[in-house]
Amino acid sequence: MTGAEVTVDRPTILMLEDSPLDAELIREHLERMDPQPEILRAENRSGFVSALEAGRFDLILADFSLPDFDGMSALEMAHRDAPDIPFIFVSGVLGEEVAIESFRRGATDYVLKQRLIRLPAAVERALKEAREKAEYRRVQQQKELLVRELSHRVKNTMAMVMSLVRRTAKNSTTVENYSQNLLGRLRAMADAHALLFETNWSQAELVEVVRRTLAPYVQGKGERFRTTPGPLVMLNPKAALAFSMVINELTTNAVKYGALAHDAGYVKVGWTVVDGVVTLEWTEVDGPAVVPPEEEGFGTTLIQRSINYELQGEVEMDYAETGLTCTIRFPISAVG
């Protein structure tokens, strides 16, 4: 099959026709189509009702006059129960006023039995229009889903930004300190969102989240970040964003007060996976003597809440004199 060829599934046509002779003539003309359709025949009202309930057809052909039924009633039933299915009248006599009224009520087309040669083209055209309408509806529904999802994410992001602005202001002593802390946190959010956008907002690798978050601090100082990636760990969007914020807080603290505040200091980052539990260790080496904080700051709160709530994990902060060690544990099942 060449790139220009399109495979069309064999259509199924419901034919409402009481006359065996007329039904056979209609069938003969339809067999000229490619691919040939499958034809389901209903002879009366009860058969038509049963076929509508089953719903396994792509188009309806209906006679206008039947012994216990009439075409307009069939059209109304089809419009109610199968509104997206094309409906074509195939009748021996159909006056202009009746034809106009049938179109007003939702009929797709009509073909006179004296001119059944028109029937295959009319059926193919109706099926094509139905496929195009179905595709248009599918695209519109997809757009609506995307808009709702985008709106939800924007609201969540804005709520998080507003919280960061308020909490950062509350815990900052100077305008410069406030600006640096806030910009660092917003940058971590932006980097995580950029990474998730590249993966179509599905999943991101832990190693890539760590790399992206550390990148602004690593420039020209690569030797001060010693990363030892562990096994592959995939993070869902919430977990990736939370982890980015955590790594940013640890790095900012190391730059201001920890190992990165000392020329000889460096940071080690690595993780293991045992029995479905990820253990990541952030270790600061050869920095200034570590003094445990007298009270918990917003950065520490942000780390603990991010790990506890978004990753269903736990955090241990060891303020040893030789340097801070932060150990993070979380189950893979919570972030996949």
Instruction: Give me the CATH number covering residue 127.
Output: 3.40.50.2300
β strands within 191-235, DSSP E: 204-205, 225-228, 234-235
Q: Cα separation of 231 and 332, whole Å?
A: 12
* Cβ proximity of 188 and 247 under 8 Å: yes
Integer Cα distance of 301 and 29 in angstroms: 76
Q: Same domain for 115 and 181?
A: no
Residue 262 falls within a domain, yes or no?
Answer: yes
Which residue ranges of the chain lie beneath pLDDT 50? 1-7
Residue 249 lies in a domain: yes
Same domain, 209 and 99: no
Question: Looking at the structure, do residues 93 and 237 belong to the same domain, yes or no?
Answer: no
Q: Does any domain span residue 326?
A: yes
Do 27 and 82 belong to one domain? yes
CATH for 211: 3.30.565.10
The answer to whether position 227 is within a domain reads yes
Please tell me the predicted confidence (pLDDT) of residue 229.
92
Domain end call among 76, 110, 135: 135
Tell me, what's the pLDDT at 36?
92
Collapsed DSSP state (helix, strand, coil) of residue 294: coil
Taking only the tens place, the pLDDT of each residue in 251-263 is 988 988 889 988 8
pLDDT of amino acid 76: 93
User: What predicted TM-score, i.e. pTM, was given to this entire model?
Assistant: 0.56
Q: Is residue 141 part of a domain?
A: no
Q: State the Cα–Cα distance between residues 115 and 137, nearest whole angstrom.
A: 34
Which residues is 316 bridged to in the sheet? Answer: 327
Burial class (CB within 10 angstroms; exposed 0-12, middle 13-18, buried 19+) of 72: middle
**CA atoms 49, 51, 54, 56: torsion sign:** negative
Q: What is the mean pLDDT of the chain?
A: 86
Instruction: Please report the pLDDT score of residue 94 as a whole number.
Output: 73
**pLDDT tens, 300-328?**
888 898 899 889 999 999 988 889 999 99
Instruction: Please indicate, yes or no, whether residues 196 and 323 belong to a single structural domain of this protein.
Output: yes
Q: Is residue 1 part of a domain?
A: no
Number of domains in the chain: 2
Which pLDDT score, from 0 to 100, does residue 333 have? 92
Choose the final residue of a domain: 135, 162, 196: 135
3 lies in some domain? no
Whether 99 and 210 share a structural domain: no
Q: For residue 17, what pLDDT is reported?
A: 93
Expressed as residue numbers, the domain containing 22 is: 12-135
pLDDT digits (tens, 9 = 90+) for 58-68: 999 999 888 88
Q: Are 129 and 89 within 8 A, CB to CB?
A: no
φ/ψ region of 118 (left if φ > 0, alpha if ψ in -120 to 50, else beta) reads alpha
Domain annotation covers residue 48: yes
